[in-house]
Every structure is written in structure tokens, then in C-alpha cells.
């Protein structure tokens, strides 16, 4: 049996001296004092959805699942039994899950996954345009809210933790000690812990080896779209590169559709049902023209929801497309 066991095994890691365990006496004191200052509002909805990542490279996916469920976003498809609920294996757009399991995800891929699943994001790279004070103000603001959350992409190496790139949600802030509570999803490795904000900011400035860019932070809130507008997305199988023989009409259509869906207030620009139907009818008509130029092995759109999605989504879409 010994030959079947991995050569190296670990039961957790010891937090470096710069970090304070959430469950330690000092960690509890910081929690109580942060509660009194009003900077733990984000904690409760996030902690209610706190998960341990199921794969070593799933920190980004698990962080996103926590936020999706904390924001009470309906995935539109079944998790198990009759229940619709977000799980990591449902985040299968933007990047194949098999690749994420091996390599994790980059900052931009994390944003793509968030947008694909109904989250409005505002991302900031920790570059020369971003100062520690700007970051501190964001932490102050978003730890006093429970309708939006602050997610960090940072380097563990700078914190003197093992590993490197990591995603975690911010769970609270202690203004006097200037420490941030990180709800680390790798709970098999490190418990939730408090980190000095200046050190955390430095860890976001570290370059990602995969992209050559600094990491950063992103604020996340619900993106309330009309069901019709989340029924389809740009297929991951479709790409536009020049020269490729793609018709300019097709390129223009895909770019305009993608840009429009990315607008935070896109659905609010359509004030009534008739106006919405006119927009969708026009989009379908434009798509129909593009299909004349489509090669047999090309795909432009794919469904955003599977067959188990709420029936009213399908009913509304069918009525418009049959018009």
C-alpha cells in the first residue's frame, strides 16, 4: 500500500508571522473591533457561502462560486436533484475546466467567467496608476457593504506563503490595525487570516508569470439582465483573426453584440417589452444575414443556459424568435 501513496503529503501549512489566524485570540479580537467599526458587513453573506476549493488550482473558481451564491444569482441550470445552485463544475465557459484544473486562471479569465454568469465587474490592476491609498479606500467602502464584494488576485510569495498566484474574497477590515481579513478558499492549506494592507497591496503588484502583468482587485455586484439577453453568448469555438476569410459583416456583428452585452446598463436602455422585442428581432435578423457567410465548421453563438433552465426564459425567447 505504501507504494500507492504520493511521495509528499501535507496537512496544512503554518501561517507566516505577518498573518494572523482568524480563529486565534488576536484574530477574534480584530473581528470584534472590526464589527464595531462597521467594516464586517461583507463578511456574513460571504461566510454563509464559504467553500473549500475542490482542486488545488480552483481558487478562482471557488471564490467566484462564493460570490455568485452570496449575491443570490440563479444559475438557470440544475446543480443536483431539483436544485439550481452554483458549483465549480458549472463554470465551463471562457476556459475549459480541464485546463483550469492544471493551470488555474488568469485575472482576465476570472473577469470573463464572472461576466458570463451575470456579475458586473470593475477591475483594477495594481500598476503605477493604482496607489495603496486608492486600494485602502476600496477596502473601506466594500467591507461596509453586503450587496457587492471585493476580490483580490495576489501573489502568495510576497506574503511568504507557499505557492504563488491566488484569488480570495475580502471578508473584513480593521481600520486601526490596517489589516484585511482574507477568506482563503484553500482551507486545507491556510485558515482564514488577517494580513496587513500594505503587504497585501505589494502582493498584488507582483507580476503574473503567465501574462507578464500585475495582479489586482475587482469589485463584483449583480448584473440584472433581461432573460433574453443571457440566453445566448459568443461561442468559445468562434474566433476572428485576420486574414481568415471571415466576412466583415460577421466580424462586426460579433463585436457589436459582445460589446452591447458587456455594458453594465445595457438592459436598462430598453424601457418596455415592445422595444426589447424590436431589438432582439433586429439582432436575429442581423445574425441571419451573417449565417450566409458562415463556414460549416464555424459557430457564432451558443446557449447560455441548458435545457433545465427556467421555463419562462424559454417561453419568452420562443415568442420573440417566432415573431
Q: What is the pLDDT of residues 68-85, one digit of tens each?
A: 999 999 888 899 999 999
**Which of 110-124, 190-204, 228-242 has the least mean pLDDT?**
228-242
> Would residue 2 count as lying in a domain?
no
Please tell me whether residues 146 and 40 are part of one structural domain: yes
In this predicted structure, what is the pLDDT of residue 6?
65
pLDDT at 20 over 90: yes
Among residues 175, 199, 222, which one ends one of the domains?
222
DSSP notation for 52-87: --SSTT-HHHHHHHHHHHHTT---SSEEETTEE---
Q: By residue range, what is the domain housing residue 122?
A: 9-222
Which segments within the chain are labelled E, that is strand? 20-21, 78-80, 83-84, 119-125, 148-155, 165-174, 179-182, 193-196, 216-222, 232-234, 301-303
> Would residue 173 count as lying in a domain?
yes
> Would residue 118 count as lying in a domain?
yes
pLDDT at 89 over 80: yes
Confirm if 194 and 19 have CB atoms less than 8 A apart.
yes
Angle between the N-to-C axes of helices 273-291 and 248-262, in degrees from 0 to 180, rounded to the nearest 10: 150
Residue 102: is it exposed, middle or buried by C-beta count within 10 angstroms (0-12/13-18/19+)?
A: exposed
Please tell me whether residues 209 and 298 are part of one structural domain: no
What is the C-alpha to C-alpha distance for residues 259 and 184, in angstroms, rounded to an integer? 33
* 37 confidence band (pLDDT: 50, 70, 90): very high
Q: What mean pLDDT do residues 244-248 have?
A: 54
- The CATH number assigned to the domain holding 135 equals 3.90.70.30
In this predicted structure, what is the pLDDT of residue 177?
98
What is the C-alpha to C-alpha distance for residues 185 and 167, in angstroms, rounded to an integer? 8
Confirm if 44 and 146 have CB atoms less than 8 A apart.
yes
Please tell me whether residues 218 and 242 are part of one structural domain: no
Q: What mean pLDDT do residues 93-104 have?
A: 91
Query: What predicted TM-score, i.e. pTM, was given to this entire model?
Result: 0.71
Please tell me whether residues 234 and 202 are part of one structural domain: no
> Would residue 178 count as lying in a domain?
yes
Residues 6 or more apart whose Cβ sits within 8 Å of residue 82: none
Please tell me whether residues 50 and 111 are part of one structural domain: yes
pLDDT at 308 over 60: no
In this predicted structure, what is the pLDDT of residue 196?
98
> Would residue 303 count as lying in a domain?
yes
Q: How many domains does the chain have?
A: 2
Position with higher pLDDT, 156 vs 298: 156
Please tell me whether residues 243 and 311 are part of one structural domain: yes
Please tell me whether residues 57 and 183 are part of one structural domain: yes
Q: What is the pLDDT of residues 251-299, one digit of tens each?
A: 666 666 666 666 655 555 555 556 666 666 666 666 666 666 666 666 6
Annotated catalytic sites, by residue?
59, 166, 184
Among residues 169, 203, 222, which one ends one of the domains?
222
Position with higher pLDDT, 167 vs 241: 167
Please tell me whether residues 93 and 191 are part of one structural domain: yes
Please tell me whether residues 199 and 280 are part of one structural domain: no
* 164 confidence band (pLDDT: 50, 70, 90): very high
Please tell me whether residues 122 and 100 are part of one structural domain: yes
**Which of 35-44, 149-158, 279-288 has the least mean pLDDT?**
279-288
Please tell me whether residues 281 and 135 are part of one structural domain: no
Please tell me whether residues 213 and 250 are part of one structural domain: no
Amino acid at each position: 500500500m505504501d507504494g500507492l501513496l504520493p511521495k509528499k503529503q501535507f496537512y496544512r501549512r503554518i501561517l507566516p508571522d505577518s498573518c494572523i489566524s482568524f480563529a486565534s485570540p488576536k484574530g477574534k479580537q480584530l473581528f470584534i473591533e472590526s464589527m464595531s467599526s462597521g467594516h464586517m458587513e461583507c463578511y456574513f453573506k460571504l461566510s454563509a457561502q464559504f467553500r473549500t476549493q475542490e482542486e488545488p488550482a480552483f481558487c478562482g473558481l471557488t471564490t467566484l462560486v462564493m460570490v455568485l451564491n452570496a449575491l443570490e444569482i440563479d444559475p438557470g441550470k440544475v446543480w443536483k436533484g431539483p436544485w439550481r445552485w452554483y458549483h465549480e463544475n458549472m463554470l465551463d465557459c471562457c476556459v475549459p475546466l480541464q485546463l483550469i484544473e492544471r493551470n488555474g486562471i488568469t485575472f482576465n479569465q476570472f473577469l470573463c467567467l464572472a461576466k458570463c454568469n451575470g456579475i458586473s465587474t470593475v477591475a483594477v490592476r495594481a500598476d503605477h496608476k493604482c496607489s495603496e491609498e486608492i486600494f485602502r479606500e476600496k477596502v473601506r467602502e466594500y467591507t461596509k457593504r453586503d450587496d457587492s464584494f471585493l476580490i483580490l488576485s495576489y501573489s502568495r510569495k510576497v506574503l511568504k506563503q507557499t505557492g504563488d498566484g491566488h484569488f480570495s474574497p475580502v471578508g473584513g477590515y480593521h481600520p486601526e490595525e490596517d489589516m484585511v481579513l482574507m477568506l482563503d478558499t484553500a482551507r486545507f492549506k491556510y485558515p482564514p487570516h488577517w494580513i496587513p494592507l500594505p503587504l497585501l497591496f505589494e502582493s498584488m503588484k507582483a507580476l503574473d508569470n503567465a501574462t507578464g502583468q500585475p495582479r489586482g482587485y475587482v469589485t463584483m455586484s449583480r448584473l440584472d439582465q433581461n432573460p433574453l439577453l443571457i440566453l445566448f453568448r459568443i461561442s468559445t469555438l468562434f474566433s476572428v483573426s485576420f486574414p481568415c476569410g471571415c466576412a466583415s459583416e460577421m466580424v462586426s456583428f460579433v463585436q457589436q453584440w459582445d460589446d452591447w452585452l458587456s455594458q453594465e446598463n445595457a438592459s436598462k436602455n430598453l424601457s418596455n417589452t415592445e422595444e426589447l422585442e424590436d431589438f432582439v428581432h433586429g439582432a436575429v435578423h442581423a445574425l441571419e444575414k451573417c449565417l450566409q457567410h458562415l463556414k460549416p465548421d464555424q459557430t457564432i453563438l451558443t446557449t447560455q443556459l441548458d435545457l433545465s433552465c427556467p421555463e419562462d426564459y424559454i417561453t419568452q425567447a420562443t415568442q420573440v424568435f417566432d415573431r
